[in-house]
Amino acid sequence: MDGETFIKTLVDEVLAQYLHGQEQICGCERCREKIAALTFDALAKNRYVTDQKNHPSRRVQGVDGQLKIEAIRELSKIAPGFKKTSCH
Ligand SMILES: [Zn+2]
């Protein structure tokens, strides 16, 4: 699994858990995709991926726990912009 795929999988997982407890945030497919993409961008910008996109990255996989915490932190900044009432 390359670094990018790894992050996308992680973001999906964290997002599913996050939305579960957030009734005000829209969980429709369109919003979920947008939230996931923004979270992915934030994480990718914060570190690594860009220069090793197509190669397996041990560094990325090695920081699983920390990356997950970062993903949750970014999500909690991004997701509140997608409230059920405000986006559509
Ligand atoms: Zn929506």
Ligand 1 center–CA 30 separation, angstroms: 6
Say how many Å lie between the CA of residue 8 and the centre of ligand 1. 20
**Would you write out the chain's pLDDT as a tens digit for each of its 88 residues?**
677 888 899 999 999 999 998 889 999 999 999 999 999 999 887 665 444 555 545 455 555 578 888 899 999 999 999 998 765 7
- What are the boundaries of each domain within the chain? 3-87
pTM exceeds 0.85, yes or no: no
Distance 86 CA to ligand 1 centre (A): 9
* 31 alpha carbon – ligand 1 mean position (Å): 4
Whole-Å CA distances, 67 to 10, 14, 21: 8, 11, 21
The pLDDT value given to residue 33: 95
Q: Give 59 Cα–ligand 1 centroid separation in angstroms.
A: 34
